[in-house]
Amino acid sequence: MWGFQILEAPTLCSHSQLIGEDYMSSSTLTTKGTEPPATGPRVSTTPRHHRTRHAESRGAWILLAPYLALFLVAAAIPIGYAFWIALQKAPTLVNPASGFGGIDSFITVITDYRFSGTFINIFSVMIVWLPLMMIGIVGLALLVHASPGRFGSTMRFFYFIPGALSGIANFVLWVYLLHPTQSPLAPLWQEVGFGSLKEIVTDSNMPMILTGMLFFQGVGTWIIVVNGGLNGIPDEIFEAAKIDGANAWDLAWHIKLPLIRPWIGYAALMNLAYGFQLFLEPYLLRQISSGAIAGEWAPTQLGYAFAFTNRNFPAAAALSIILLVITLSIGVVIVMKSGLFGDEKEKKR
Amino acid sequence: MSNSAPNVVGAKHWTLGRIARITVMVVIAAAFILPIIGFIAMAFRSQEGVLAGTDGFLGLGGMSWDNVVFSWSQINGFGPGDGGLFTRWVGNSLVVAVIGGVLALVAALPAGYALARLRFRGRKVMLFATLLAMVMPNTVLVIPLFLEVNAIGAVGQLWPVAVIMGFFPFGTYLVYIHFMTTMPQELVEAARIDGLSEIATFFYVALPISKQVVALVAFFSFVANWTNFFLPLALLTSSQENKTISIGIQELIGASPLFNATVAAGLDVKLYMPQLALATFLSMIPLLIVFLTAQRFLIRGQTVGAVKG
């Protein structure tokens, strides 16, 4: 139903990334054009100019005020508060008073017997999932790009549909797929010797199961992002390559792939950061496996346990800060180095 | 598909590479679509049919409206007394998703405009912070947010969830890009020469040309809010009445005899796979409606974005 109308659109758009990306590519290409010529009067020091600059600055901050307020409430203050909490002592039954504890809570977290395990778990998934994800994204995006017309856009739409089932809906879908008797894949599961959900959802199968869930849910969106990058390549480049005798394979391997490297890097880093914050899937897999999966399988779950099971808020805050530092570092690399957000405009100012 | 149709400009040939490409693409598409068809079919099947295994390919043969009516009575019967928790949870999701979306718009529109078209000290820092917040996975902040909300004693209430959802840096970024690409700086200069204040310029010049991006921001923030799981889990689990549907479905899973026979034995309603599939399917309908409503703008947004050529 919702598909058919957007199939006609030049770029399918029903997800944040893809619109962002499309706008993004257009912006980096157009800002040069729309930017007014950098004229001298900016540095002028006449009193009148000072006044307008002042009015402009004040206007800007008034316009930013609601956003700034939400930024404080939903990001800055909780981060600062988490830092402060992390430096407190956890109250215990013997000594209910809390106070300044220095880095004790960080030591508690890092020396927790589950801490390193949660990161090993995450890496065990990423080692399977990230390469498959990147091959899937780039491979399918190139295939879609090599198929102009309605066939290509129909396929792209089909690849995107699972992405619309995000979060819990994707999870329930996978419970259905993994169920050893009720799934359409049931014959396969029984062939391999899985008789119950508990036999399928085990620690050793976690990398495969999570890879399946994350790939299914995420690949379509990223195909569209990378496809947006491919669509930004001027046709003349392909024409020139064809005149030089390049076939479809040469085009994909030697021309398209190097040109979309920024998008590939962006996708890889975003997915890497995503891996560190997995929560929903392992949390719910524990629930359907009658506890076969540890309750503190992922780092976020360990933080959740510190906060809600142990009521050790300093430790929960310390773990959040560790995760925050990791994902923020990846974020800084994405924003500064991917080349997708870097606007020449900024440097000109 | 249209590939085999004779082409006037120059017939394409079915080369080996072409056949391989199309086969791979179609097989992968089938692997993506068939599970979803089977899952939707599951919402229309009965537990008896599922157990008997007589519903045919993907269970399509076992679909009936009566099954839906029965499954709904089970879903709707979940909860204390006469049940009704499911609709209550959907209502809560609507409240937080809509309020969060409205807040996101109120904040993102002026902020994105100011970042795109006004010069002021701190602009670069704000832009960088916005980009960073945008690419950062949002569940990392959930525990700090929980600590904050806990400190003011508002855990279990809906309003903090809605307010937190209102912070939507991706929306601000979309608005920023929108004004960067569609509103020339000259327009701002002209408004200034005409004596409009910066605020008035935003309201009378910028806002009227931002219908497009309003639809985009509203759509994306609604979807993000509706599917958010960890935030409501941390903030609302303590209150059965105030859960959102995403964590509500988790509770339905937990009450299913498929996964937890002891809990399920104490319940009047039986939530097997068809009921879980129907509950999931129903929980997606608001997203579908929002998508259909916003679609017109989403497509036109593309044409606006297409000025790159």
B31 with B157, same domain? no
Scanning A213-272 for CB atoms below 8 A from B yields 216, 220, 232, 247-249, 270
Taking phi over 0 as left and psi of -120 to 50 as alpha, with beta for the rest, A102 belongs to: left
B245 with B302, same domain? yes
Q: How far apart, in Å, do the first and last CA atoms of chain A sit?
A: 47
Per-residue pLDDT tens over the stretch A49-101: 566 778 888 999 999 999 999 999 999 999 999 999 899 887 766 666 667 77
Phi, psi of B118 (to 5 degrees): -115, 150
Q: Which chain B residue has its CA at the smallest distance from A155's CA?
A: B29
Distance between CA atoms of B21 and B226, rounded to whole angstroms? 37
Q: What is the ipTM of this complex?
A: 0.86
CB atoms within 10 A of CB B30: 12
B47 with B174, same domain? no
Domain contains B295 = yes
Q: Find the DSSP H helices in B136-239.
A: 142-151, 158-166, 169-182, 185-193, 198-201, 211-227, 230-236
Domain contains B262 = no
B32 with B140, same domain? no
Q: Find the DSSP H helices in chain A.
A: 2-7, 16-34, 47-71, 77-86, 104-110, 115-145, 150-164, 168-178, 186-192, 197-200, 206-231, 235-243, 248-250, 257-259, 261-276, 280-288, 299-308, 313-337, 344-348
Instruction: Report CB contact under 8 Å: B280, A34.
Output: no
Q: Is A186 exposed, middle or buried, given 0-12, 13-18 or 19+ CB atoms closer than 10 A? A: middle
Give the pLDDT confidence score for residue B29 in this predicted structure. 95
Domain contains B5 = no
User: pLDDT tier at A304 (50, 70, 90 boundaries)?
Assistant: very high
Which CATH number covers residue B168?
Answer: 1.10.3720.10
Domain contains B102 = yes
Nearest partner of B25 among A216, A156, A7, judged by Cα: A156
B235 with B130, same domain? yes
Domain contains B4 = no
Distance between CA atoms of B144 and B163, rounded to whole angstroms? 15
B51 with B142, same domain? no
B56 with B117, same domain? no
Per the structure, the count of domains in chain B is 2
Give the pLDDT confidence score for residue B264 in this predicted structure. 78
- When mean pLDDT is compared across A33-47, B140-154, B204-218, the lowest value belongs to A33-47
Question: Is-contact A78 B144, C-beta < 8 A?
Answer: yes
Give the pLDDT confidence score for residue A47 in this predicted structure. 52
Instruction: Report CB contact under 8 Å: B284, A165.
Output: yes
Q: Which chain B residue has its CA at the smallest distance from A267's CA?
A: B135
B76, B94, B115 — which closes off a domain? B76
The average pLDDT across A249-253 equals: 87
Instruction: Name residues whose C-beta falls within 8 Å of residue A81's C-beta, 6 or more positions apart in sequence.
Output: B144, B147, B148, B151
A347 pLDDT more than 50: no
B49 with B160, same domain? no
A36 pLDDT more than 70: no
B110 with B222, same domain? yes
Distance between CA atoms of B269 and B245, rounded to whole angstroms? 18
Q: How far is A203 from chain B (nearest CA, A)?
A: 17
Give the pLDDT confidence score for residue A35 in this predicted structure. 38
Give the pLDDT confidence score for residue B306 in this predicted structure. 32
Scanning B69-108 for CB atoms below 8 A from A yields 103, 106-108
B157 with B282, same domain? yes
Average pLDDT value over all residues in chain B: 86
Give the pLDDT confidence score for residue A160 in this predicted structure. 85
Q: Is A44 exposed, middle or buried, given 0-12, 13-18 or 19+ CB atoms closer than 10 A? A: exposed
Task: Tell which wins on pLDDT, B109 or B258.
Answer: B109
Per-residue pLDDT tens over the stretch A118-150: 999 999 999 999 999 999 999 999 999 998 888
Which of B21, B57, B142, B143 to probe the A interface (max A CBs under 10 A)? B143
Domains and CATH numbers, chain A: 107-348 (1.10.3720.10)
Structural domain including B143 reads: 85-250+276-308
Instruction: Report CB contact under 8 Å: A78, B280.
Output: no
Per-residue pLDDT tens over the stretch B174-214: 899 889 888 888 888 889 888 888 899 999 989 998 888 89
Give the pLDDT confidence score for residue A92 in this predicted structure. 67
Distance between CA atoms of B28 and B24, rounded to whole angstroms? 6
Which of B140, B186, B252, B282 to probe the A interface (max A CBs under 10 A)? B140
Cβ-nearest to A26 among B144, B292, B305: B305
Per-residue pLDDT tens over the stretch A168-203: 999 999 999 998 888 888 888 888 888 888 888 889
User: pLDDT tier at A296 (50, 70, 90 boundaries)?
Assistant: very high
| Residues constituting chain A | 349
The two structure tokens encoding residue A217: 């849910």
Domain contains B267 = no
Domain contains B33 = yes
B79 pLDDT more than 80: yes
Angle between helices A168-178 and B273-305 (to 10 degrees): 130
Buried/exposed code over B258-280 (b: 16+ C-beta within 10 A; e: otherwise): bbeeeebeebebbbbbbbbbbbb
Domain contains B265 = no
Q: How many CB pairs under 8 A join A and B?
A: 332
B45 with B120, same domain? no
A-chain CB neighbours of B290 within 8 Å are: none
Cβ-nearest to A173 among B35, B108, B166: B35
B72 with B89, same domain? no
Cβ-nearest to B111 among A23, A29, A67: A67
